Amino acid sequence: MHTFKAHEIRDKIKSKELSSQEITKAFLDRIDAVEDKVESYVTVLADEAMKAAKAVDEKIAAGEEVGALAGVPMALKDNLCTKDVLTTCSSKMLYNFRPPYDATVAQKLKKADTVLLGKVNMDEFAMGSSTENSYFKKTKNPYDISKVPGGSSGGSAACVSADEAAFTLGSDTGGSIRQPAALCGCVGMKPTYGTVSRFGLVAFASSLDQIGPLTKDVRDCALVYDQIVGYDPMDSTSVNREYASFEDALTGDVAGLKIGVPAEYMGEGISAPVQKAVMAALESFKGLGADYSEMHLPLNEYALPAYYMISSAEASSNLARFDGVKYGFRAEKFDDLVDLYAQTRSEGFGAEVKRRIMIGTYALSSGYYDAYYKKAQQVRTMIMQDFDKAFETYDVLVTPATPTTAFGFGEKTDDPLQMYMADICTVSVNIAGLPAVVLPCGYDENGLPIGLQIIGKPFGEAAILNAAYALEKTISKVKPAL
């Protein structure tokens, strides 16, 4: 039962073919069986999950109306606030933090009658591309446990890939849903900025962060997105507009679809197996009636430095609240208030978080703001204009999701710049606030998944999900190592 997709579980529970308690117990047994290998969970809520499943079964037995994801077991990235449940951001700084409220997406999933299995591992405060920066553990890639699952939503992707949850939610600041989805062979989507409420998401970079689903297939992605999308007055960046059903938009018809393939994403640095798989997928699109051609996004080379300047500056501001006074970790030994701040932040934050805070603080300091942060924001506007021009001709853009397949633990930790390059295919989408979905499009010679990214126009989720749905039917699947 733990191999069932979310839409299959929904249908079987509503038809009373299976109970939510049976399904939930199967997933909890799966967690017991493989979690010591994968290490995707920070907190498992076994008793609470069974109680929630029982409540769903009782509602169905009583003939009451249930939510669209009734009884479906899922997990949340550990930077999404959950009332009275540990929300650590995988950091020593928040090792004991239990929020007094739910994130909006957590509220919406409760309303949909999902079953929360637990909170999953991540790079500390969502800063990283391999989930090696977690204070608690290093999550493994289910296809090869000697490889990283990607990051920062590595726990979310590995959890789905290892069948430890039917779906998860992650957050994506520069590719943190899409990159691990690619490395772990699942589907991940970063929605248009403002379509999913960020209320209750512990902020990394507020103008870039976006919450999205990681699922076993594209239908599940659309189904989950249907439940979390929508305006929220608690989020000042939330867009007030109506959304049609994304699941209903999955026709699989892509005849006449115009696909742009940015040459900048297919050149130096992109491995041969990844290029080959992406080109094969484009030929599959052609066989389905779509048309593709090479085009250019000339400012793409500036996306990565602009991203790290903007995100680090915003991180410096957002993480200033963690000072040892209000909540979370506090240093035991200090001389005065200033020393309390210094000791708490020195002991509570990991190396990568400190690195980005220092870069961001420097970029925002007097005399350097115009040269760095302001310049990066100007580049951001130009990158957005690049995409706007591309979408005058093309319906969607297709690129690799990552330059390579999953890499080994420790391979890139000694060189932060090399680690940052793992996001080269994804950061520009966040800079422009666009939607993008990643799905498996093949496997390398070692059986590791290769991800393909489909980028859409603002609010173009229906188009990219339908394109992914059509392509998915042409891709032969390989079972994970677990």
Task: Say how far apart CA 479 and CA 482 lie, in whole Å.
Answer: 8
How many CA atoms within 13 Å lie on the side-chain side of 116? 25
Per the annotation, the verdict on 152 as an active-site residue is yes
Q: Which residues of 127-152 are buried (b: 16+ CB within 10 A; e: fewer)?
A: bbbbbbbbbbebbbbbbbbebbbbbb
Give the residue among 39, 80, 89 at the shortest CA–CA distance from 199.
Answer: 80
> Considering 12, 25, 77, 147, which one is annotated as catalytic?
77
> Considering 129, 176, 312, 316, which one is annotated as catalytic?
176
Q: Rounded to an integer, what is the distance from CA 376 to the centroid of its chain? A: 24
319 and 125 Cβ atoms separated by less than 8 Å: yes
- C-alpha angle with apex 109: 106 to 115, nearest 5 degrees? 100
403 and 270 Cβ atoms separated by less than 8 Å: yes
Region at 80 (left for phi over 0; alpha for psi -120 to 50; beta for the rest): beta
102 and 137 Cβ atoms separated by less than 8 Å: no
Per the annotation, the verdict on 176 as an active-site residue is yes
Gap between the terminal Cα atoms of the chain: 15
The greatest distance separating any two alpha carbons of the chain, rounded to the nearest whole angstrom, comes to 70
254 and 290 Cβ atoms separated by less than 8 Å: yes
> Cis (ω within 30 of 0) for the bond into 206?
no
> Considering 40, 90, 129, 152, which one is annotated as catalytic?
152
State the DSSP H helix or E strand holding residue 295, giving kind and residue range, or none if neither: strand 291-295
Catalytic center residues: 77, 152, 176
